[in-house]
């Protein structure tokens, strides 16, 4: 009702939805959003992957222009490598680094302990990732398990040798 009312009194409604959080579910919300978008009554904003410059700007905004963590280039490299520029992952990693004292205030500046000391998924993201993995079929989960053991870079032939895919 609110979205279809006369434009005489402007109204801004902001909503946040992670499309992957409702995998496989049919929602009336999808139809409603598509209808609003078709009528020009809504605009969907999707976050893009953070570039290295975006990551530097995020660090400056989060920790202050002059007090961004020492060795921030190493932090930018680690954040980019671990999260691939995913905004949710990146912010969660930064939150966890601060909570664990791996980025801590040292006088007027922030100091980074060791950029290599955070190679795990932030605890607050584990339930989200577990839900996403649970929604996959057994064959795909098996493939991902083997790929995770092989490492970040691998060939199809390595997967084939491990899973006997017959390629």
Give the pLDDT score at 118.
Answer: 62
Q: Is 100 helix (H, G, I), strand (E, B) or coil?
A: coil
Give the pLDDT score at 143.
Answer: 83
Rounded-to-integer distance, Cα 161 and Cα 65, Å = 50
Give the pLDDT score at 50.
Answer: 92
pLDDT above 70: residue 2: no
pLDDT, tens digit (0-9, with 9 covering 90-100), for 150-162 = 877 778 888 778 8
Burial class (CB in 10 A: 0-12, 13-18, 19+), 62: middle
pLDDT above 80: residue 37: yes
Rounded-to-integer distance, Cα 109 and Cα 117, Å = 20
Rounded-to-integer distance, Cα 88 and Cα 94, Å = 10
Percent of the chain having pLDDT more than 70? Answer: 77
CA contacts within 13 A on the Cβ side of 106: 12
């Amino acid at each position: 009702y609110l979205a279809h009312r006369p434009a005489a009194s402007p109204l801004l409604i902001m909503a946040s939805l992670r499309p992957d959080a409702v995998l496989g579910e049919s929602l009336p919300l999808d139809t409603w959003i598509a209808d609003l978008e078709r009528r020009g009554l809504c605009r969907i904003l999707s976050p893009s992957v953070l570039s290295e410059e975006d990551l530097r700007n995020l660090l400056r905004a989060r920790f202050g222009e002059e007090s961004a963590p020492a060795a921030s280039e190493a932090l930018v490299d680690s954040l980019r490598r671990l999260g691939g520029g995913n905004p949710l992952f990146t912010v969660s990693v930064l939150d966890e680094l601060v909570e664990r004292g791996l980025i801590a205030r040292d006088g007027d500046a922030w100091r980074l302990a060791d950029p290599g000391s955070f190679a795990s998924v932030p605890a607050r993201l584990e339930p989200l990732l577990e839900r996403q993995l649970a929604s996959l079929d057994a064959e795909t989960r098996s493939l991902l398990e083997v790929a995770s053991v092989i490492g970040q870079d691998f060939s199809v032939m390595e997967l084939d040798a491990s899973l006997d895919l017959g390629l």
